[in-house]
Amino acid sequence: MKISWEIGGAQGAGVDTSANIFGAAVASAGYYIYGNREYYSNIKGRHSYFNLTISDKRARSISSVVDILATFDAETVFQHFTEVRGVIIYNKGVKDTKLDRVQSMEPEIQERVKEFLESKGLGTTVADALKYVESKGVKLIELDYDEIVKKTAESVGVPMSVAERAKNTAAIAASYALTGLKKDYLMDALKKTFKQETFVKINSIAAEMVMAGIKPMFQLKELPKQGRRIQVDGNTAVAMGKIFAGLSFQSYYPITPASDESVYIEAHQEVMAVDPETGDKRKRPIVVVQSEDELAAINMASGAALTGVRAATATSGPGFSLMAEGIGWAGMNEVPVVVTYYIRGGPSTGQPTRTSQADLLFAMHVGHGEFPRIVIASSDHVEAFQDAVWAFNLAERYQTPVIHLVEKAIANAYSIFDVSELELDRLRAERGKLVETPDGEFQRFKFTEDGISPRVVLGKAYVFYTGDEHNELGHISEDSENRIKMYEKRLLKLRTADREIPEEERIKVHGDADARIAVITWGSPKGAVLDSVEQLSGEGVKAQVIQIRMFNPFPKNLVKKLLSNKEVIIDVEGNYEGQAGVITKLATGIEPTNYILKWNGRPMTWDEVYDGIKLALKGEKRVVLHGGA
Amino acid sequence: MAVPKVWIPEWNDWCPGCGNFGIINAEQQALSELGLTPEDVVVVSGIGCSGKTPHFFRLPISGVHTLHGRALTFATGIKLSNPELTVIVNAGDGDQLGIGAGHFVNAGRRNVDMLVILHDNGVYGLTKGQASPTLRRGEKTKSLPRPNINDNVNPIALAISSGYTFVARSYAYDVKHLKEMIKAGIKHKGLALIDVLQPCPTYNDIHTKEYYDKRVYKLETEPGWDPVVRKPEEEGEKMAKAMLKSLEWGERIPIGLFYQNELVPSYEERIATNAPSYKDRNPSKVRFEDAGRYTTIIDDILKEKEI
């Protein structure tokens, strides 16, 4: 069972809070949720919306077709009315608003909506858009937001300005009433969110007022919940993973959509930890530095890593471009540093608040010269947590920068999942060849069979680092023979990693091994791909999904083996070039037969991937997806 | 920890007569006289001739030779993760005032307890003598095709206005003076800068040993010169006096302490205000794992997000 709910309004009008209240209420009743947040690079006034999937099973994607659309304003109706198949909740006061009066709407979008409405022989008011959906069987719920605010204010005895946000509560209360769930969950969520008595009262009264007049459209029943469930977005999941893994130093420069991670860590700057010496629980500090730029951010983290702490930074494309220099130094000096790379739309400033998978090849080749860059990619919130832990282990074991890819579509989306999925008890720390008690002058770059030298931290031995080519002691060396050996030593680590890390851990395979169709994917599209493949499977079309989790070193033998018996190989990813497809071809010699690509900045929905796979199976080589407002 | 059985310093490849010799000698003497444990000293450098400083030490230390302009950023990460280390940055004028000017300024805002030694010779030596940010307009050093048309940066005034809490100038050929300044800079709580006037015998034929020898004079010899802020209300006046003094350049060039203010909390103290455990728990010594098991307990954090 799946219900798709969407809410939209002007940025700053409370769309997020409303979505969270609604989500929390439904989740308390035992449902899983996957929610995606879309917003402009703007503080107040531009259109933002939240799209949620409610499901009795773990939800992992959003849908292009919306069951319930709750709107705060005219723009939300104009931007989304064609997506709706169930109900639109709208404000009576905007019915007569004409399209060309909605100034926050970009002219290109206005023009498209205008053409659509005119092609249906309609005018260009909100009422016209509603008339269209009504003709398609969509139900309308009209609420008088001003009236609700007025009545609420009167009943609580506060000025109307204080009760202003009752509008938002009206929209979510109407949505909630449609689910058929008992109202207690919503009331609890309101209480939890607003805390202060007056505001709880205002919102509860508004909610009751609206719910009284609405008949349920679904008959959702309370579901039994076992164990603990949490609701986290991608930024928080990564932050939690880092903290769990022992992060002690995080530096960052503000950038969308990465900063929320660092801000979260700063808010949790002291965490409880067991002191192994005494067995006591004691607080430990985490240093968080907001640096002057990303050059500083990566280098501060590298400096910290040299002292033995687990150190990381988090950024997005423009910042990662600046970090290229520092990542090169970390590669040259074999520094275990972690960079969480939240991909957004590029090049240049691109689309700061929109998702992308276009930086995969860049991440794999960042910086000049040849050195090992380990690159991993998370596809959901549980992986985002676990991969943050994994990244540190890889960094320490192979003494090289690890780039952890997380897209905006994961960073700003959230899901509800069982804490047990994190498998905290299974996760172990690996510190590689760390030497606790060294002796005197230390050969930090000692030649070894696997390319990995014993590592000592600053303060425990006399140790040298330099971005120049160096000898085993870490002093500058331009000797041609040393150059050959030291250069090989660094790159040998990648071979060692390739030999040691089981290829089964570097991909996840889902679905039918005997299928003649393979779908290659990575990162955020995974949920949509799995949901579409599940749907197809129900229709008798079997496919095996190969989700790539590590791009460098690439699991070439296993991927090659899996692809070798396939007739159709569909590469699904969020870029123009089919970058994972390019890498697959380079590594295995096998090229995808079809591509489903999306680069409009919006996450893939499961139904558009479903349609895409069908088109691919009909022979379309390259399907370009357009979904999302 | 044992002292290395054999400590073989690298062969020093600076030009004969380079001011860097005076700097490294003063630095080593200062470290010896302060009796610092060698393994606790980390010398962080940038790029250029000065960048090689840690490699050329004849005392056991650890050296981190970083990127052009970025020495301060690495040093910040090192010091904040292990506050017990004595961290010294050796970097050039091009390093800190050109490509790394942003880091130079922002380091002042943080006031991390470190010493910055600015190798100030007016040229980019290792790339054959281009004008550096401290070369004055109209000056034409040996390898410049035309006189410099850029104005110079005043490192003393820039440091004071950026928040450095110990700002001094010294001269590479007055090793004794420089040594004392370095000792004071290391002992200072907060971020210290020593702008070291340094001839480049190969590329700077204006600011030579002869040029400086007859011009430098010591601020401490000036009657009434008292650059130390002892009460908060003295801050503005002492800053202003120091900045005014830093404009003096020509027949007489002052060296010595321009400004010192230990009333400003260090970055470490500021972190400890937010995270009191930072005071007695050096991050580099916290055991985040025990036989592979993570020691951090995230129950509370998970609870915040529980549905």
What digits encode the pLDDT tens for the residues A136-194? Answer: 999 999 999 999 999 999 999 999 999 999 999 999 999 999 999 999 999 999 999 99
Find residues 9-68 of chain B whose CB sits inside 8 Å of chain A: 10, 38-40, 42, 44, 47, 52, 54-55, 60-67
Q: Quick: pLDDT tens for A291-302.
A: 999 999 999 999
Q: Looking at the partner chain, which of B52, B84, B290 has a beta carbon nearest the beta carbon of A276?
A: B290
**B290 in contact with A, Cβ within 8 Å:** yes
Measured between CA atoms, the residue of chain A closest to residue B289 is: A429
What are the angstrom distances between the C-alpha of A188 and each of A50, A194, A201, A222, A384?
A: 21, 10, 12, 15, 29
pLDDT the model gives residue A441 = 75
The minimum CA-CA distance between B105 and chain A, rounded to whole Å, is: 9
Query: Is 0.90 surpassed by the pTM of this model?
Result: yes
- What is the CA angle B244-B248-B253, rounded to 5? 135
Homologous superfamily of the B19-304 domain (CATH): Thiamin diphosphate (ThDP)-binding fold, Pyr/PP domains (3.40.50.970)
B65 contacts A467? CB cut-off 8 A: yes
- Could you tell me which residues are beta bridge partners of residue B216? B253
Q: What percent of chain A has pLDDT over 70?
A: 100
A274 contacts B278? CB cut-off 8 A: no
pLDDT at A537 over 90: yes
Measured between CA atoms, the residue of chain B closest to residue A267 is: B274
- Say what the ipTM of the complex is: 0.98
pLDDT at A437 over 90: no
pLDDT category of residue A512 using cuts at 50, 70 and 90: confident
pLDDT the model gives residue A438 = 85
**B6 in contact with A, Cβ within 8 Å:** yes
Cβ-Cβ contacts under 8 Å, B78 against chain A: 303-304, 306-307, 458
Q: Quick: pLDDT tens for A400-415.
A: 999 999 999 999 999 9
**A52 in contact with B, Cβ within 8 Å:** no
- Could you tell me which residues are beta bridge partners of residue A341? A315, A405
B306 contacts A325? CB cut-off 8 A: no
Contact of A494 with A552, CB cutoff 8 Å: yes
**A313 in contact with B, Cβ within 8 Å:** no
Q: Where are the domains of chain A?
A: 2-211, 231-422, 433-501, 507-624
The minimum CA-CA distance between A241 and chain B, rounded to whole Å, is: 9
Positive or negative torsion for Cα B22, B27, B28, B34: positive
Contact of A593 with A619, CB cutoff 8 Å: no
pLDDT category of residue A395 using cuts at 50, 70 and 90: very high
Contact of A393 with A426, CB cutoff 8 Å: no
d(CA B296, CA A245): 7
Interface test with A, best of B52, B56, B62 (most A CBs within 10 A): B62
Cβ-Cβ contacts under 8 Å, A289 against chain B: 76-77, 80, 110
Cβ-Cβ contacts under 8 Å, A464 against chain B: 54-55, 62-65
* CATH number listed for the domain at residues A507-624: 3.40.50.920
d(CA A474, CA B54): 11
pLDDT the model gives residue A626 = 97
B62 contacts A246? CB cut-off 8 A: no
Measured between CA atoms, the residue of chain A closest to residue B107 is: A292
Cis peptide before A257 (omega within 30 of 0): yes
**A238 in contact with B, Cβ within 8 Å:** no
pLDDT the model gives residue A193 = 93
pLDDT in tens, chain B (307 residues): 445 556 677 999 999 999 999 999 999 999 999 999 888 999 999 999 999 999 999 989 999 999 999 999 999 999 999 999 999 999 999 999 999 999 999 999 999 999 999 999 999 999 999 999 999 999 999 999 999 999 999 999 999 999 999 999 999 999 999 999 999 999 999 999 999 999 999 999 999 999 999 999 999 999 999 999 999 999 999 999 999 999 999 999 999 999 999 999 999 999 999 999 999 999 999 999 999 999 999 999 999 999 8
Interface test with A, best of B61, B297, B305 (most A CBs within 10 A): B305
**A19 in contact with B, Cβ within 8 Å:** no
Q: Quick: pLDDT tens for A211-252.
A: 998 999 999 999 998 899 999 999 999 999 999 999 999 999
> What integer is the mean pLDDT of A534-560?
97
Residues near B111 by Cβ (< 8 Å), separated by ≥ 6? Answer: B163, B164, B165, B190, B191, B264, B265, B266, B267
Q: Looking at the partner chain, which of B5, B286, B307 has a beta carbon nearest the beta carbon of A284?
A: B286
pLDDT the model gives residue A587 = 98
Q: Looking at the partner chain, which of A249, A289, A293 has a beta carbon nearest the beta carbon of B102?
A: A293
Contact of A247 with A54, CB cutoff 8 Å: no
Q: Do A231-422 and A507-624 come out as alike in CATH topology?
A: yes
A283 contacts B62? CB cut-off 8 A: no
pLDDT the model gives residue B37 = 85
pLDDT the model gives residue B5 = 55
- What fold characterizes domain A231-422? Rossmann fold (3.40.50)
What are the angstrom distances between the C-alpha of A262 and each of A40, A233, A254, A265, B246?
A: 21, 13, 9, 5, 39
CATH class of A2-211: alpha beta
B294 contacts A427? CB cut-off 8 A: yes
A464 contacts B55? CB cut-off 8 A: yes
Locate tokens 């490849």: which residue? B13
Token pair for B73: 């950023």
